[in-house]
């Protein structure tokens, strides 16, 4: 089974390097967002990287989960698997929703996470070196666009079978609604790396089902 994966905001293929999956993993490449591009329009362009001639699964991590959901409305996936993400805009934490609702998303800077915020604490990362490398390599234009898109997203559940794997210690995107959710005890937002063995086991279980 082909698995097309979308990484989190600013992240890349490195967050998937620790997974051991029973399928062929293809990590999609982030595209440069167009001026004032909607998340729906962006998802349409991302689908060009997916081979739809064979059955496939969409796998989205964090912000990449939102993209995977929007892609599922355009192309027919067997299922969508979300990791450390949300399946409905109402599941976003109050800060993101209020920022979008009252137009504060326009004020989001190119580097949305201020220097004084302890990144490793926010992500709950054990592999601090990798997280810092990913943050340092983040394209600031994309980061700004993605942060605004996240806060103004009004999407709903995927159009196909979907499941979510979430840590109960996620500070960035708290677990909230547990519909179709497998909870990993002690898992934080960076658990795709720090708890890769457990995350892999859950993904493989969903692939079998």
pTM of the model: 0.89
More confident residue, 107 or 71: 71
pLDDT tens sequence across 35-59: 889 999 999 999 999 999 999 999 9
Nearest to 62 by CA among 193, 202, 207, 204: 193
Number of structural domains (the chain) is 1
So what's the pLDDT on residue 69? 97
pLDDT tens sequence across 163-187: 999 999 999 899 888 999 999 999 9
- 85 within 8 A of 173, measured Cβ to Cβ: yes
| CATH classification of the domain holding 147 | 3.40.50.1820
> Helices 140-152 and 94-101: crossing angle, nearest 10°?
90
Rg (Cα) of the chain, in Å, rounded? 16
So what's the pLDDT on residue 144? 83
Distance CA 163, CA 1 (A): 17
More confident residue, 17 or 144: 17
Distance CA 156, CA 70 (A): 9
Domain that holds residue 197: 2-208
More confident residue, 127 or 91: 91
Q: If you average pLDDT over residues 83-94, what whole number do you get? A: 87
So what's the pLDDT on residue 104? 44
pLDDT at 116 over 50: no
Distance CA 183, CA 185 (A): 6
- 7 within 8 A of 192, measured Cβ to Cβ: no
So what's the pLDDT on residue 105? 46
pLDDT-above-90 percentage for the chain: 59
Check the CA dihedral 193-127-190-168 and report its sign: positive
So what's the pLDDT on residue 103? 55
Q: If you average pLDDT over residues 99-103, what whole number do you get? A: 54
Distance CA 4, CA 57 (A): 6
């Amino acid at each position: 089974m082909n698995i097309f994966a979308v990484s989190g905001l600013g992240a890349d293929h490195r967050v998937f390097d620790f997974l051991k999956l029973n399928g062929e993993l293809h990590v999609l490449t982030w595209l440069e967002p167009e001026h004032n591009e909607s998340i729906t329009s962006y998802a349409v362009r991302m689908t060009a990287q997916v081979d739809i001639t064979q059955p496939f699964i969409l796998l989205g991590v964090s912000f990449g989960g939102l993209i995977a959901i929007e892609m599922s409305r355009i192309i027919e996936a067997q299922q969508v698997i979300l990791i450390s993400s949300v399946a409905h805009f109402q599941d976003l934490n109050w800060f993101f929703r209020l920022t979008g609702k009252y137009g504060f998303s326009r004020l989001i800077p190119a580097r949305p996470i201020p220097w004084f915020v302890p990144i490793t604490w926010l992500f709950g990362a054990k592999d601090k070196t990798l997280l810092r490398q990913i943050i340092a390599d983040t394209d600031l234009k994309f980061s700004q666009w993605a942060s605004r898109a996240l806060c103004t997203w009004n999407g709903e559940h995927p159009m196909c079978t979907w499941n979510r794997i979430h840590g109960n210690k996620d500070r960035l995107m708290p677990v909230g609604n547990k519909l179709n959710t497998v909870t990993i005890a002690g898992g934080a937002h960076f658990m795709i790396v720090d708890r890769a063995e457990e995350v892999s086991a859950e993904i493989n279980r969903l692939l079998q089902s």
